[in-house]
Amino acid sequence: MKDDNTMKTPVQQWYAGKTIFVTGGSGFMGKVLLEKLLYSCSDLKRIYVLMRPKRGKTPQTRIDDWLKLAVFKRIKEEKPDVYKKLVPILGDVTSDQLGINADHEQLLVDEVEVVFHCAATLKLEAKLKDAIEMNTVGTRRILDLCQRMKRLQALLHLSTAFCYCDKEVLTEKVHDFHHNPYDLMRAVEWMDEKALDTITPGLLKPHPNTYTYSKRLAEMLVRDAYPNLRVCIVRPSIVCPANAEPVEGWVDSLNGPVGIMVAGGKGIIRSMLCNGEYNAEVIPVDLAINGLITIAYTMGQMAQMPSEIPVYNITCRETKRTTWKEVLDLGKATAYEYPFEAGVWYPDGDITMNKTYHTICVMLFHWLPAYVIDFLMLCFGQKRFMCRIQNMVSEGLTLLQFFTTRQWDFKSMHYQAIAQNLSAEDNVIFTMDTDAIDTKDYLRRIILGGRQFCMREPLSTLPKARIQLKMLYVLDKVAKAFMLYFLAWLFLSITGLKAPVYEMLGWA
C-alpha cells in the first residue's frame, strides 16, 4: 500500500503542515482562497484569518456563519473537519500594529510560514484618506509584522493589474513614480480631510481614482522591503465570478462586470461608453486564486531570490483575449435565454464611443424611465427607488469607463511560466488555463451566478422570467412606435407639414 504522502501532488506536499496568515479573508477573493486552501491542501496545519471587529458578532461567529454560504458548500459536505483549521485573529489593517493583541501577535511571529495579504478597499470612489489608510498604510503594517516572522517562506501582496495607468504596456516589474509613498502617508496623517479632498484631483493624475493610486504607492513599499523579505507582488486584472470552483458562477457582490450584466439584464443600463474593439481584461476568480496558491509554492521552491522583486500579472494569455463587443453580444444572447425576474425594461442596451449619443441615450432611456417609475410609485403610495438606483448606476459607469475606453496590454511571462513548472496533477487541481474556458459557457455561468447568488432568484423562476421578458419585448416595441409617432407628429406640426402629409396619406 502506498504511503499517503506519495498520493499528494508537489503543491499539496509543500502546503502540508504549513501555517498560513490571510488578510481580507471576508472579501470575494479571500473566501475563495480560504475554501480552495482547505479543500485542495487539506493537510495544512492552520489558517489564521485577520477579522475586523463587528458589533454583535465575535470573530468566531462570523467565520462559523461563512459555512452557510454556497462558497463553502463542498467543504461542508465533503470535508467538514478541515473547517476547524480556520482560526480568527481579531484585528484591522487600519489600526496601529493591526489592532492585534500581544499574544496573537507572538503567535503569528512564531508560527506563520505563508502570508496572503488581500485586505484592501476596492471602492474606486473612496476618499483619498481612506484609500491610503487601508491600501498603503495597511500594507506597511503587514510588512512590519512579516519582518518579524521567524519562519516566513512567502508573502504575497495582492495588487491590481491597473495600477500603472500611465503605461501603454504593463510588464511584470515595479515602476518608479514621482510621488513618495512615505510622504503621502505622513500627509494623510496630519492634513485636514477637507484640504486633502481639495488637492486630491491634482495628486491622482494620471490615475483615475484613489484605488489604483493607493495600490501603486503600496507596491513601492513592498519593493522597498525586498529582498530582506521573501515577498512578491501579484496583480490580477478584473476578477469575475468562478468558472468551476467552488461553485460555478459563484459571486458575492454586484461589483464590476457582474453589476453591469445584472443591470443590463434587467433593462436598467441601456447605454455604456465602451470601445467594443478593445479587450475585456477579466479573469475568473478560481483561476486567479489557483495562481496565488501556486505562486506561493513557486516562491517556496526558490533557493535564491531573484535580484528584483518577483511580480506576476494574473491576466489572460494573448491567445484568449476577448473584446468587449464579443462579451456584449454573447452576454445579451445569454441574458435572453436566462432572463432575470422583474426587469424594468426589455434588455436591449448597447455600447458606444460617441459621448453625445451616449448622453442622449442616458437621458431618454436611463433617467426618463426612472422619473416615470418613481412618479408612479409616488402615486400609488409606494417607496421610490429608481432614481436612487439610476444615480448609483451612473456613478458606477462613470468610474468604469476609464477602463472600458482604453486598450490595456498586460505582459504575463512570469505568471504563465508557473504552470510550466507544475506537475500534470497540479495543473489539473490548480488550473490557470484560460484557453480551456468557453467564453459563451462562462458568460452563462456569470449571469446565472449573478441571478442566484446576488439577486436571490432561483432557477425555478426561469419560466416566469421568460414570460415577463416576452411582455417587456412587446411593451418596448409599442413604446418605441408611440415615441416615433409622437416625434413625427411634433415635427410635422412645427414645420406646418402636418396637413399636406395627412392629405397625401389619406388621413385628412
Kindly indicate the confidence band of residue 364, based on its pLDDT and cuts at 50, 70 and 90.
confident
Kindly indicate the confidence band of residue 497, based on its pLDDT and cuts at 50, 70 and 90.
confident
H, E, C per residue of 343-364:
CCCCCCCEEECCHHHHHHHHHH
Share of the chain above pLDDT 70, in %: 99
DSSP letter string, 133-184: IIIIIHHHHHHHHHHT-SS--EEEEE--TTS-TT-SEE-SSPPP-SS-HHHH
Half-sphere exposure of 157 (CA within 13 A, CB side): 30
DSSP letter string, 444-463: HHHHHHIIIIIS---GGGHH
pLDDT at 5: 59
SS3 370: helix
Instruction: Give the residue from 17, 18, 86 showing the smallest Cα distance to 51.
Output: 86
**CA–CA separation, 337 and 348 (whole Å):** 13
Q: First-to-last CA distance in the chain?
A: 96
pLDDT at 403: 87
Helices 439-449, 324-337: axis angle to 10 degrees equals 60
Higher pLDDT, 501 or 95: 95
SS3 263: helix
301 has a pLDDT exceeding 50: yes
pLDDT at 402: 87
Higher pLDDT, 156 or 259: 156
- In the chain, the amino acid numbered 336 is Y
Q: Residue 33 burial by CB count (10 A; 0-12/13-18/19+): exposed, middle or buried?
A: buried
DSSP letter string, 397-410: HHHHHHHHSS--EE
Share of the chain above pLDDT 90, in %: 59
Name the H helices within 282-412: 285-300, 324-337, 355-361, 368-379, 386-404
Instruction: Give the residue from 100, 177, 175, 171 showing the smallest Cα distance to 138.
Output: 100
Instruction: Give the residue from 63, 24, 284 showing the smallest Cα distance to 158.
Output: 24
Kindly indicate the confidence band of residue 3, based on its pLDDT and cuts at 50, 70 and 90.
very low
Kindly indicate the confidence band of residue 398, based on its pLDDT and cuts at 50, 70 and 90.
confident
The neighbouring-strand residues paired with 49 are 22, 88
C-alpha cell at 453: 447568488
Most confident of 51-55, 267-271, 467-471: 467-471
SS3 235: strand
380 has a pLDDT exceeding 50: yes
pLDDT at 4: 56
28-58: pLDDT as tens digits: 999 999 999 999 999 999 999 999 888 778 8
pLDDT at 6: 62
Contact status, residue 342 vs residue 266, Cβ threshold 8 Å: yes
Q: Is the N-terminal amide bond of 227 cis, ω within 30° of 0?
A: yes
pLDDT at 2: 41
Q: What is the mean pLDDT of residues 384-401?
A: 84
Q: Which of 122-136, 316-330, 414-428, 461-475 shows the lowest per-residue confidence on average (mean pLDDT)?
A: 316-330
Contact status, residue 251 vs residue 449, Cβ threshold 8 Å: yes
Instruction: Give the residue from 267, 245, 280, 273 showing the smallest Cα distance to 352.
Output: 273
- Mean pLDDT score of the chain: 91
114 has a pLDDT exceeding 90: yes
Other Cβ atoms less than 10 A from the Cβ of 136: the count is 24
**CA–CA separation, 125 and 275 (whole Å):** 23
Q: What is the mean pLDDT of residues 257-268?
A: 86
| Element spanning 484, H or E | helix 462-495
C-alpha cell at 61: 461567529
pLDDT at 248: 94
Contact status, residue 400 vs residue 260, Cβ threshold 8 Å: yes
pLDDT at 156: 98
400-456: pLDDT as tens digits: 888 888 888 899 999 999 999 999 999 999 999 998 999 899 999 999 999 999 999
Kindly indicate the confidence band of residue 488, based on its pLDDT and cuts at 50, 70 and 90.
confident
Residue 151 falls in which region: left (phi positive, over 0), alpha (psi -120 to 50) or beta: alpha
Q: Is the N-terminal amide bond of 206 cis, ω within 30° of 0?
A: yes
Q: What is the mean pLDDT of residues 341-367?
A: 89
pLDDT at 1: 35
Q: What is the dihedral of CA 92, 93, 96, 97, to 10 degrees?
A: 90
Q: Which of 84-93, 100-109, 279-288, 487-496 shows the lowest per-residue confidence on average (mean pLDDT)?
A: 487-496
pLDDT at 41: 97
C-alpha cell at 81: 473537519
Q: What is the mean pLDDT of residues 75-97?
A: 94
Which of the 8 DSSP states describes residue 367? Answer: I
Other Cβ atoms less than 10 A from the Cβ of 445: the count is 23
176 has a pLDDT exceeding 50: yes
pLDDT at 193: 84
